[in-house]
Chain A
Amino acid sequence: MGRTSEGATIVAASLLAAFAVALVNFANGETVDSQIGLTFLIFLISFGTLYVAVRTFTPRATPLLIAPVVALVGLGFFEIYRLDPARAGLQRWWMLIAAAIASASLMLLSKGTTSVLRRYRNMILLVSIGLLLLPNLPSDWAFPLRGLEVNGSRLWIVLDIGIAGMQFQPAELAKLGLVIFFAAYLADHQKALREAHRRLGPIRVPEPRQLIPLLLAWGGSILILIWQRDLGASLLLFAGFVLLLYAATGATGYLVAGGLMTLTGAAAAASVFPHVQRRITAWVAPFEHYQDEGYQIAQGIFALGTGSLSGSGPGLGRPDLIPNASTDFIFAAVGEELGFAGTVAVLAIYALVISVGFGISFRSRDTFRKLLAAGLTFVFAVQTFLIIGGVLRVVPLTGITLPFMSYGGSALVGNLMLVALLLRISHEESG
């Protein structure tokens, strides 16, 4: 697929999003209104900008990445619109902002190469940790930037500019920064990590000296996230880190140790945090606890089952019965209205994005770029698996969002920047 057909696919995906919005309107008994045109326009402007930025700054980047991303955003968007038109209006603004930020990142990176990121890795680490700490700013001080506690977790900041408050989850950006830091650090110490190891029983581990800064950075970020009760993000970061360590060293011991630590961590979290205990109960026996803990998961499964093969049709199901349908349970909502056909398509598009990510990593000759592409893909894949798996009762629900589909501005910005980084690496490696 060339650049031109990529452009055509983006237009087609934007039309599809607008068509889905039209179907939702139709199902609600309304006729053609401005929402349809507005949706098409904003999709076209947002992703058209990104497309032009790619053509201009990273012309050799893979043409296979933006189109599936637009399709995912479109599938998520119509469902958000169907559930809550006000949120969909906000999400459209975020689309413009995210595309602008991603395009700007592409432009900035074109001044140098991704090796800039490697060089300033320590600064990126500090900024990331700073971002993670932002929500702990006081909620009641006079400064316009404030922390915010939502549902017992402290993950949000509010930028209060008088007229309107803009909410943001800085962890979505910190996630990227930390992956960049890990990839850069591992690339710098790759040789030492691979060759100097000690034996710890049957497992070979590298010299502790090499690992200490890495472990500090990683442990610190995870502790902050646990302090803020963002257990989903800490699990995601932990999994991404372990996989990256394994990718850099090829030492299976990390996977084993990581797996064991995840299990003990989960057990510890379950005994410390009552809301983790509730989530495990809901995972093990949702229907036995239908009235309380299991209600959300049970409704999600009823939504999927009722959707069956072809779904109720956009706007004709009752995904509004699922609590948090537009964020955590967007997959079940799409499954109810588009059916098995829709969920298989969604899984296939995610598989495409993930394989393109892996492909970029495989083809990279530079160690840092290889690890960065791999790390970004890992985080993306693990996040997708954890939340869809949570809805499908494959794993306990962790309360993280589905990339590109869930309602949420910060996640859209973070994930589109992730794609921009992958595009940049792809461009640099195919020269």
Chain B
Amino acid sequence: MNGPIRRVAIGVFTGMAVLLAAVTWYQVVRADELRADPRNPRPALAERGKERGLIVTGDGTVLARSVEDPDDPRSFVREYPEESTFAHLVGYSSFLIGNAGLEEVYSAELRSRRDLTISDLVAAILGQDLRPRGIEVTTDADLQRTARALLGENRGAIVALDPRTGAVLASVSNPTFDPHLLLGNDAANHWEALLTAEGEPIRDRATRELYAPGSTFKTVVAAAALDTGAAGPGTTFADPMEFQLPGSDATISNANRRPCNDGNTTTLLQAYVRSCNTIFADLAIQLGAADIGITAQALGFNQDIDYEWPTPEAFWDTPELANDAAALGQSGIGERNVRATPLHMAIVAAAVANDGIAVSPFAVRRVFDADGETVRATEIDELGRAMTSETAATLTQMMERVVTEGTGRAAAVPGVRVAGKTGTATGSGGFSNPWFIGFAPVDNPTIALAVFIEGSVVSGESASGGSLAAPMAAQIIEVWLSS
């Protein structure tokens, strides 16, 4: 009788071994995946009331901090002293909605590791510092506040970079929201309200939305023309009243419905400074989709840009445009098959400013421990050379002429040499989307920026890059250079 019992016993212990394997599968092999599953509410719930690290600017302005909950001395509440000004960049840490922005990306550093788990106890015994770490952002508090104030009631975004490093000096999306709304027990209601609110304040127009770049994209087309030697600033073009798109009944005309120059001939420089659509549609078709595509790709189009969080890929649709000259003409003036985020257009301006070398943007300079000592510092990440040094220099001269005598005169700052390019892209609802990209000072650029306005009743039907975006750029540059 022991024989059969023994065989049952072997079966029972096989069963126990299966249980051991199954529990290993969930608690060891798949543990991280299960913990991170968005349907698993535990990690966010565990963060509730826990102390989190500081988020500060280089000059010590506090963007996020944890303070003791007045109602419960063992618990902490998160504070964002700048309220809505940094909402999209800093984000929020909400036990109900989850984390967003830098609060999400740097959650592992910012969270307190004093959880009383065995691994924390071991770490404490080994003398490791369990206090939450802080992060220092590259953003300039004054510049960010200025950008926020400039946008006012407008929908849009302003992104400013240090062209030499890619450090983000300002990143504002408007309308914005108060992150405190999402912290409490009524966060879900506020979240629903924000999702349906006028102007969709939850969207980060600066880094997470793609828009047609309009005439600011002529900078990329001009760079391709200069780089390939297809044209120089003095190269002459026929100057028609309107440009007939090949294989199509459609025509392209200039903003003022007149020829670019005298109706006979004009130059590339004139076309760029006056932002002539007729000439750039023609030039784009002459260059071809592939050559523009090479310059665009070198400037970070059609690829993932390394930023603090994944950003949508800016694109120039080379395969589509290679077989459609009409679409190529329209895309050459920044419409139809080309899109970019405001952040990305700031990268384009920064590349021209930085002698033709594009850099990856970043917003966090360093992670520091509770004593302020640097734990990890961000290293500059070059995307590589986007255009020759000569092309960058020529383009800089052309961009400066835009501000001194062209469409971007409103971007001029007394005593400062400013370079830039305006754009007025087709928006929705009959409104156009004003743009301005540029940098300053020309001889030693320390700021590159993109101003983008999403056309609405606030901006009005007649708003253009030159009339609305360029003055904002001037203000940003002035504040930056005076500090």
Q: With A347-B19, A394-B19 in contact, do A316 and B115 touch (Cβ < 8 Å)?
A: yes
Among the 9-residue stretches B37-45, B240-248, B384-392, the one with 4 or more Cβ atoms under 8 Å from chain A is B37-45
**Contact across chains for A302 and B15 when beta carbons are under 8 A apart:** no
**Which chain A residues border B125 with CB–CB below 8 Å?**
none
**Which chain A residues border B118 with CB–CB below 8 Å?**
310-311, 313, 339, 341
Smallest distance from the beta carbon of B11 to chain A beta carbons, Å?
9
**Contact across chains for B34 and A305 when beta carbons are under 8 A apart:** yes
B126 interface residue (CB < 8 Å to A): no
Q: In the bound complex, what is the Cα–Cα distance between A386 and B4 (angstroms)?
A: 21
A234 interface residue (CB < 8 Å to B): no
**Contact across chains for B43 and A306 when beta carbons are under 8 A apart:** yes
**Which chain B residues border A287 with CB–CB below 8 Å?**
39
Tally of contact residues, A, Cβ under 8 A? 56
**Contact across chains for B19 and A312 when beta carbons are under 8 A apart:** no
Partner of B9, one of A250, A290, A317, A358: A358
**Which chain B residues border A344 with CB–CB below 8 Å?**
20, 23
**Contact across chains for B26 and A301 when beta carbons are under 8 A apart:** yes
- A373's nearest neighbour on chain B, judged by CB, is B5
**Contact across chains for B116 and A388 when beta carbons are under 8 A apart:** no
A350 interface residue (CB < 8 Å to B): yes
**Contact across chains for B42 and A308 when beta carbons are under 8 A apart:** no
Q: In the bound complex, what is the Cα–Cα distance between A422 and B1 (angstroms)?
A: 18
Name B4-59 residues within 8 Å CB distance of A: 4-6, 8-9, 12-13, 15-16, 18-20, 22-24, 26-28, 30-35, 37, 39-43, 45-46
**Contact across chains for A316 and B6 when beta carbons are under 8 A apart:** no
Q: In the bound complex, what is the Cα–Cα distance between A313 and B121 (angstroms)?
A: 11
Smallest distance from the beta carbon of B3 to chain A beta carbons, Å?
6
Smallest distance from the beta carbon of B18 to chain A beta carbons, Å?
6
- B41's nearest neighbour on chain A, judged by CB, is A321
Q: In the bound complex, what is the Cα–Cα distance between A355 and B12 (angstroms)?
A: 10
Q: In the bound complex, what is the Cα–Cα distance between A238 and B419 (angstroms)?
A: 86
A283 interface residue (CB < 8 Å to B): no
**Which chain B residues border A343 with CB–CB below 8 Å?**
23, 27
Partner of B28, one of A29, A309, A311, A382: A309
Q: In the bound complex, what is the Cα–Cα distance between A298 and B41 (angstroms)?
A: 12
**Which chain A residues border B40 with CB–CB below 8 Å?**
302, 305-306
**Which chain B residues border A394 with CB–CB below 8 Å?**
18-19, 22
- B23's nearest neighbour on chain A, judged by CB, is A343
**Which chain A residues border B6 with CB–CB below 8 Å?**
362
Q: With A250-B1, A305-B30 in contact, do A310 and B117 touch (Cβ < 8 Å)?
A: yes
**Contact across chains for B8 and A374 when beta carbons are under 8 A apart:** yes
Partner of B31, one of A248, A309, A362: A309
Smallest distance from the beta carbon of B195 to chain A beta carbons, Å?
20
Pick from A247, A305, A307, A321 the residue with the most CB of B within 10 Å.
Answer: A305
- B45's nearest neighbour on chain A, judged by CB, is A318
**Contact across chains for A313 and B116 when beta carbons are under 8 A apart:** yes
Q: With A316-B115, A343-B23, A351-B13 in contact, do A302 and B5 touch (Cβ < 8 Å)?
A: no
Smallest distance from the beta carbon of A54 to chain B beta carbons, Å?
24
**Which chain A residues border B117 with CB–CB below 8 Å?**
310-313, 316
Q: In the bound complex, what is the Cα–Cα distance between A351 and B9 (angstroms)?
A: 11
B462 interface residue (CB < 8 Å to A): no
**Which chain B residues border A317 with CB–CB below 8 Å?**
42
Q: With A247-B5, A370-B1, A374-B8 in contact, do A306 and B19 touch (Cβ < 8 Å)?
A: no
- Interface digits, A369-404 against B, CB 8 Å rule (1 contact, 0 not)? 011001000100110010011001110000000000
**Contact across chains for A305 and B20 when beta carbons are under 8 A apart:** no
**Which chain A residues border B8 with CB–CB below 8 Å?**
243, 246-247, 374, 378
B256 interface residue (CB < 8 Å to A): no
Q: In the bound complex, what is the Cα–Cα distance between A340 and B117 (angstroms)?
A: 13
Q: With A247-B5, A344-B20, A370-B1 in contact, do A339 and B27 touch (Cβ < 8 Å)?
A: yes
**Contact across chains for B23 and A392 when beta carbons are under 8 A apart:** yes
Smallest distance from the beta carbon of A405 to chain B beta carbons, Å?
14
**Contact across chains for A374 and B23 when beta carbons are under 8 A apart:** no
**Which chain B residues border A312 with CB–CB below 8 Å?**
46, 115, 117
Smallest distance from the beta carbon of B380 to chain A beta carbons, Å?
36
B196 interface residue (CB < 8 Å to A): no
Smallest distance from the beta carbon of B30 to chain A beta carbons, Å?
6
Partner of A347, one of B16, B31, B42, B115: B16
A410 interface residue (CB < 8 Å to B): no
**Which chain A residues border B28 with CB–CB below 8 Å?**
308-309, 340
Q: In the bound complex, what is the Cα–Cα distance between A29 and B73 (angstroms)?
A: 10
**Which chain A residues border B27 with CB–CB below 8 Å?**
304-305, 307-309, 335, 339-340, 343
**20 residue pairs A–B, Cβ–Cβ below 8 Å:** A247-B1, A301-B26, A305-B27, A305-B31, A306-B34, A306-B35, A308-B27, A318-B46, A321-B42, A335-B26, A335-B27, A341-B118, A350-B16, A355-B13, A378-B8, A378-B12, A389-B15, A389-B19, A392-B19, A393-B22
A305-B33, A321-B42, A339-B27 known, 14 other contacts, Cβ within 8 Å = A247-B4, A303-B42, A304-B23, A305-B34, A307-B31, A309-B31, A310-B117, A310-B119, A335-B23, A335-B27, A355-B13, A381-B12, A381-B15, A385-B19
